[in-house]
C-alpha cells in the first residue's frame, strides 16, 4: 500500500480529530488563548535537546530531565524555573498533570521508552530523528500515537523548509519526468560513524564521571561498563546506541524523495560494506557503505532504486553536472526520465536542475504546499497542537522515513545478501538472522 493510501484510510481516525491540550484551550470564549503557553517537559537537554528547547523557548519549559548534569547545565541555566529530573519516570510521576507536551532528544536507543511513557500519559511528543533504534519500536510508537491521538513530530527539521516544498513542486510539475533512480548519501563525521579502530580499547574499566547516571543512560539496554569513548556524541558509531551514518542522515537526505514520490517501503535491500566483518564488528558500523533499496512500481511511480553512499563511498558525479562544479557530498542526485535534480541535506537545500542551463530555463512551478513560517519545525508542532491538526513530519510520516535507515542497519549485518522485505508482516522473507534484528532485546524491568 502506498503511504498516502494508508494515511487516507486511517485519516478519519487519526488526522480528522481535534485534540488540543486542555491547558491551551482554557480561554472563556472557547478559542485558544493567545497568552496560554504549552507546558513542555524535555527528556535529554544537552546537544540537540538544547537546540530544540531554544526553538520552543516562547512556551513554558516546566521540566528538564537529563541523566548527565554536565550536559544539562546549559538548558538548566536558560530555564531556571523548570524542575529538574534524572529519571523521566519520576518526572511523569511528579508532574504528569502539569505537562502538555514532551520533547525527547536522548540518544536513539532511549527514544522508544521515553516516548511511550509520554504517550501513555497522553502527552504530545516531539522526538528527535531517527524515531527509534529499531523497526519494531518505530511501529509500536506509531501505533501508540494513533491510539492516543496525540500530536507528534519527528525532528527532521528540513521537512518544514521551503526547499523541500520547492523540490516536491518541481518533481510534481514534471521537471525531470518520471523518477527512476536516486543516489543519496552523506560524507560527514566519518571517524565518528566508524569506530572500528577502537576495538582493542575496551579492556580497561573506567570510572563513571560525577554527575552522570550511567544506568539511566543505558536505559532498557543490557548493562555494560561505562567507557569515555561513548560520550558525548560518539555513541552514534556504536550499534547498540546509535544508528550509524545512514540512520542518522536518512531522515534529512531522503525526506525530499520520500515526500515527493509518496514512497512506500522498499521490497528489497542490499548492503555492500567496506572494512567491516559482521562476525567481528557487529558492535560498530563500516568505514563505508553502499546500500541499494528497491521500491516496487505503484499506481504513481514505476520501479525506483535508491542507492545510498556513505563514509568511503561517495555519491557518483552525475554526467549532467558541468565541469568545474562541485558534486553533492551530503544530499542526493535524483534522476528522472527527462532530467536530473541535485540537492543538499536538511530539506533539499540548494535544490537545482542540472546542468544550470536547465535550471535557468525552468519556470518555477506554482506553489502547491503551504509554507511553514520561517521553516520553523518546532513551531510547526506547537502550532499543530494549538490547531488540533497533525504536524508535518508526524510519527506516521517521520516514522516510516526512519524505518528506511533502520532497514539499512540490518542489511549492513548481512552484507552482499539481497534481503527481501515484507513491510506489512514486518519481516524478511529470506533471512532468519536478519529477522532477529528487527526488535531489540531489553533488560529485565523494561518494556
Ligand X SMILES: NC(=O)c1ccc[n+]([C@@H]2O[C@H](COP(=O)([O-])OP(=O)(O)OC[C@H]3O[C@@H](n4cnc5c(N)ncnc54)[C@H](O)[C@@H]3O)[C@@H](O)[C@H]2O)c1
Cβ 93 to ligand X, closest distance in Å? 15
Nearer to ligand X, 249 or 421 (CB): 249
Cβ 159 to ligand X, closest distance in Å? 10
Nearer to ligand X, 59 or 66 (CB): 66
Question: With the C-alpha atoms ordered 221, 227, 231, 236, is the resulting torsion angle positive or negative?
Answer: negative
Nearer to ligand X, 49 or 286 (CB): 49
Q: Does 209 bind ligand X (CB under 6 A)?
A: no
Nearer to ligand X, 88 or 295 (CB): 88
Q: Which of 32, 41, 44, 347 binds ligand X (CB under 6 A)?
A: 44
Residue with cell 530555564: 79
Cβ 394 to ligand X, closest distance in Å? 16
**Site for ligand X (CB under 6 A): how many residues?**
29
Alpha helices in 96-235 (DSSP H): 111-120, 135-148, 162-172, 190-193, 214-218
Q: Which of 2, 36, 140, 216 binds ligand X (CB under 6 A)?
A: 216
Q: Does 48 bind ligand X (CB under 6 A)?
A: yes
Q: Which residues pair with 397 in a beta bridge?
A: none
Q: Does 65 bind ligand X (CB under 6 A)?
A: yes
Site for ligand X in 222-281 (CB under 6 A): 232-233, 248
Nearer to ligand X, 336 or 347 (CB): 347
User: What is the DSSP secondary-structure string of 274-317?
Assistant: ES--HHHHTTS--SEEEEEEEE---SS---EEEEEEEET--PPP
Q: Name the segment binding ligand X (CB under 6 A); options: 30-38, 45-53, 182-190, 202-210.
A: 45-53
Q: Does 219 bind ligand X (CB under 6 A)?
A: yes
Q: Name the segment binding ligand X (CB under 6 A); options: 33-41, 68-76, 329-337, 427-435.
A: 68-76
Q: Does 66 bind ligand X (CB under 6 A)?
A: yes
Site string for ligand X, 144-183 (x = CB under 6 A): -----------x-x--------------------------
Distance CA 415, CA 273 (A): 6
Q: Name the segment binding ligand X (CB under 6 A); options: 104-112, 192-200, 295-303, 413-421.
A: 104-112
Q: Does 108 bind ligand X (CB under 6 A)?
A: yes
User: What is the DSSP secondary-structure string of 422-434?
Assistant: ETTTTEESS-HHH
Q: Name the segment binding ligand X (CB under 6 A); options: 32-40, 46-54, 277-285, 406-414.
A: 46-54
Angle at the Cα of 43 from the Cα atoms of 38 and 47, rounded to 5 degrees? 105
The three cell numbers of residue 2 are 502506498
Q: Name the segment binding ligand X (CB under 6 A); options: 47-55, 145-153, 283-291, 296-304.
A: 47-55
Contact criterion met (CB below 8 Å) for 372 and 158: no
Contact criterion met (CB below 8 Å) for 108 and 242: yes
Q: Does 217 bind ligand X (CB under 6 A)?
A: yes
Output the CA–CA distances (angstroms, integers) from residue 19 to 1, 109, 124, 150, 435, in the order listed: 28, 29, 10, 7, 37
Cβ 123 to ligand X, closest distance in Å? 15
User: What is the DSSP secondary-structure string of 369-405?
Assistant: SPPPGGG-HHHHHHHHHHHTS--TT-HHHHHHHHHHH
Output the CA–CA distances (angstroms, integers) from residue 183 to 307, 336, 407, in the order listed: 5, 12, 17
The secondary structure of the chain in percent helix, strand, coil, rounded to multiples of 5, reads 35, 20, 45
Task: Summarize as ranges the residues that interact with ligand X (CB under 6 A).
Answer: 43-49, 65-68, 71-72, 88, 105-108, 110, 128-129, 155, 157, 216-217, 219, 232-233, 248
Amino acid at each position: 500500500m502506498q503511504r498516502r493510501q494508508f494515511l487516507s484510510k486511517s485519516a478519519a481516525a487519526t488526522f480528522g480529530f481535534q485534540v488540543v491540550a486542555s491547558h491551551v484551550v482554557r480561554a472563556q470564549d472557547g478559542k485558544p488563548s493567545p497568552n496560554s503557553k504549552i507546558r513542555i517537559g524535555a527528556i535529554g537537554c544537552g546537544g540537540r535537546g538544547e537546540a530544540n528547547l531554544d526553538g520552543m523557548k516562547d512556551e513554558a519549559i516546566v521540566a528538564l530531565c537529563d541523566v548527565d548534569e554536565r550536559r544539562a547545565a546549559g538548558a538548566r541555566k536558560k530555564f531556571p524555573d523548570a524542575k529538574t529530573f534524572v529519571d523521566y519516570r519520576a518526572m511523569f510521576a511528579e508532574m504528569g498533570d502539569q505537562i502538555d507536551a514532551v520533547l525527547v532528544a536522548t540518544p536513539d536507543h532511549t527514544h522508544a521508552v521515553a516516548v511511550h511513557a509520554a504517550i501513555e500519559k497522553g502527552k504530545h511528543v516531539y522526538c528527535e530523528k531517527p524515531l527509534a533504534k529499531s523497526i519494531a519500536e518505530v511501529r509500536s510508537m506509531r501505533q501508540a500515537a494513533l491510539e492516543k491521538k496525540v500530536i507528534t513530530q519527528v525532528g527532521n527539521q528540513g521537512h518544514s523548509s521551503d526547499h523541500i516544498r520547492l523540490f516536491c513542486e518541481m518533481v510534481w510539475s514534471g521537471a525531470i519526468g518520471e523518477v527512476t533512480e536516486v543516489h543519496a548519501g552523506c560524507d560527514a563525521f566519518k571517524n565518528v560513524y566508524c569506530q572500528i579502530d577502537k576495538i582493542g580499547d575496551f579492556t580497561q574499566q573506567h570510572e563513571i564521571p560525577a554527575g552522570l547516571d550511567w544506568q539511566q543512560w543505558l536505559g532498557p539496554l543490557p548493562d555494560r561498563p561505562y567507557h569515555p569513548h561513548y560520550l558525548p556524541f560518539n555513541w552514534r558509531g556504536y550499534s547498540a546506541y546509535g544508528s550509524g551514518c545512514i540512520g542518522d542522515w536518512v531522515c534529512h537526505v531522503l525526506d525530499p524523495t520520500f515526500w515527493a514520490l509518496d514512497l512506500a517501503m522498499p521490497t528489497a535491500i542490499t548492503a555492500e560494506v567496506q572494512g567491516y566483518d559482521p562476525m567481528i564488528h557487529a558492535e560498530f558500523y563500516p568505514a563505508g557503505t553502499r546500500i541499494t533499496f528497491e521500491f516496487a512500481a505503484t499506481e504513481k511511480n514505476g520501479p525506483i532504486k535508491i542507492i545510498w553512499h556513505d563514509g568511503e563511498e561517495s555519491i557518483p558525479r552525475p554526467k549532467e553536472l558541468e565541469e568545474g562544479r562541485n558534486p553533492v557530498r551530503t544530499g542526493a542526485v535524483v534522476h528522472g526520465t527527462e532530467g536530473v535534480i541535485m540537492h543538499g541535506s536538511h530539506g533539499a537545500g540548494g535544490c537545482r536542475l542540472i546542468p544550470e542551463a536547465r535550471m535557468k530555463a525552468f519556470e518555477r512551478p506554482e506553489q502547491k504546499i503551504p509554507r511553514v513560517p520561517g521553516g520553523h519545525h518546532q513551531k510547526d508542532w506547537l502550532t499543530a497542537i494549538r490547531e488540533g491538526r497533525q504536524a508535518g513530519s508526524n510519527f506516521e510520516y517521520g516514522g516510516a522515513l526512519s524505518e528506511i535507515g533502520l532497514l539499512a542497519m540490518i542489511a549492513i549485518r548481512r552484507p552482499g545478501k539481497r534481503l527481501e522485505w515484507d513491510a506489512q508482516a514486518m519481516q524478511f522473507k529470506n533471512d532468519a538472522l536478519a529477522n532477529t534484528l528487527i526488535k531489540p532485546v531489553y533488560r529485565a524491568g523494561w518494556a
